[in-house]
Every structure is written in C-alpha cells, then in structure tokens.
Amino acid sequence: MKCAFINLFIAFLSVGINAQSVQFVPSFGEQELKLDTTYLLHSGIEVKIETLRFYISNLEIYKNGAVVWKEKDSHHLLDAATPESLKFPVPIDKGDKLVFLLGTDSVTNVSGAMGGALDPSNGMYWAWNSGYINFKLEGTSSVCVTRNNGFEFHLGGYTREHATVQQIELLITGNEILVDLKAFLSQVSLAEQNKIMSPGTEAVLLSQKAASIFRFKNEK
C-alpha cells in the first residue's frame, strides 16, 4: 500500500517534470524505430531506415485558441541517431494545442549563414541550390531498383512555388510525439519514387505527406 503510494508519487513527479518538455519518438507504426533494422512495410516489402533528420521550428502553444507561449529563436535539428536531439523543453502543460513548423521558414532560408542548429556544417544545407533540407530520410528497400537498393528523400525548397515547410497542429494529449515512418513510406510508392534531392513539385507533395506522420502517442 505504502509502496503503491510512493510509486504514484514518483509517477506524479515524473509527469510533472516531463510535462515541461516534448519528446519526439521516431517510430515504425506504434513501435519505436530502430535504425538499420529491417521492417515489413506491407506484404513482401521490406525497408530499413538509415538516416532520419529534420527541422522543427517556430514552436507555439495555444490555449482556447490563443497563443500562450512562443519559443524564441526556435529552431531544432532532430536526428534519430542522437537521442538528446529528440527532446527539448516546451511548457506543454500550459495549453491544449501545440503548433510548429516541420522545416524552416522562407526568411530563415534567405538570411545567410547562421549558427547552432542552422549551421551549414550540420549537413542539412544545399550548397548548389541554396536552402535548407527540411526533412531527410534515407534507407534501403528490396523494391528500390537503385544502387544498393537505396532510397533518399531530401525534402527542401522555400520559394513560393516550391515551399516545403509545413505547419503542424496537434491537440496536446501527452508529451511524446510519434514520427511514424511506416505512415510516410506507406504513402510513397518506393519502386517508382526513391530519390528526391532538390526542390520541386515532388518535394512539395512528399513534405505534405511527411507532415501527416506526426501525432501524440496515445496516453493510457
């Protein structure tokens, strides 16, 4: 009885602490994603993810339709291979809705050299067609008739016609946000589309799909 009480207390404490941050959880369906591990996409199609990196920016929290918190200089580079990059402080208990951009806005893309998450040495900047790569997904699949069966999606582009930045709005139901790559890859026909390395209509369509794979992990 006493034990249960302490457990409850600890649980309460950790919720209290966790409530001040969000944790992005790359996943394959409901399962936490492991890099370089074979997954079954759908019957007969196997995939392996090697790289997942993306920008999250301009984080805001809304309560009853009004902004109650806005992050300053809000740019985060998340990398599935670096667990520390997937979690950062956000006062999530302040409101009912989390709003952020998947990618970097157009102003950021034309503002010259920047540091930190935006430093071009992070490998998320295109040297030969200026602009950030907002979302980078690389892996292999048995259906890709490419060198080493590889697929590479480098989604970026900031001009009005080829804007890839996506706004995502999520009702807050916890503090873990799944980034479900199964949901992404299910919307792509990997046999035909497996290499996007520059801005254009394809990158725009794929980034809309990428935006659809973020969701709060259900509590309970």
Partner 1 sequence: MRSKFIVVGLIWVGLVAATLPTLIKVTLFYPSSWPKPVYDFEKSALSKEGISLGRKLFYDPLLSADSTISCSHCHLSYTAFTHVDHDLSHGIRDSIGTRNSPALMNLAWNDKFMWDGAVNHLDMQALAPITHPAEMGENLNNVIAKLQRTSSYPKLFQAAFGDSIVTGKHILKALSQFQLTLVSANSKYDKMKRGEYDFTEQEQRGYQLFKANCNSCHQEPLFTNGAFENTGLPVDTTLNDYGRMLITKIASDSLRFKVPTLRNIEYSYPYMHDGRFKTIRQVLNHYGDGIFDSETLANELKGGIPLTSNEKVDLTAFLLTLTDKEFLFNPEFAFPRN
Residues that bind partner 1 (CB under 8 A): 109-115, 119-123, 125, 127-131, 159, 161-162, 199-200
CB of residue 64 to partner 1, shortest distance in Å: 36
If you search the block for the tokens 């034990």, which residue do you land on?
3
Q: How far apart are CA 182 and CA 56, in angstroms?
A: 20
* Nearer residue to partner 1 within complex by CB, 74 or 198: 198
CB of residue 148 to partner 1, shortest distance in Å: 20
* Nearer residue to partner 1 within complex by CB, 94 or 162: 162
Q: How far apart are CA 29 and CA 165, in angstroms?
A: 24
* Nearer residue to partner 1 within complex by CB, 51 or 130: 130
Pairing of strands 21-28, 87-89: antiparallel
CB-count burial class (<10 Å; 0-12, 13-18, 19+) for 17: exposed
Adjacent-strand bridge partners of 78: 54
* Nearer residue to partner 1 within complex by CB, 100 or 158: 158
Pairing of strands 150-156, 87-89: unpaired
* Nearer residue to partner 1 within complex by CB, 87 or 195: 195
If you search the block for the tokens 């998320």, which residue do you land on?
124
CB of residue 57 to partner 1, shortest distance in Å: 17
Contact 178, 218 (CB under 8 A): no
Residue type, 159: T
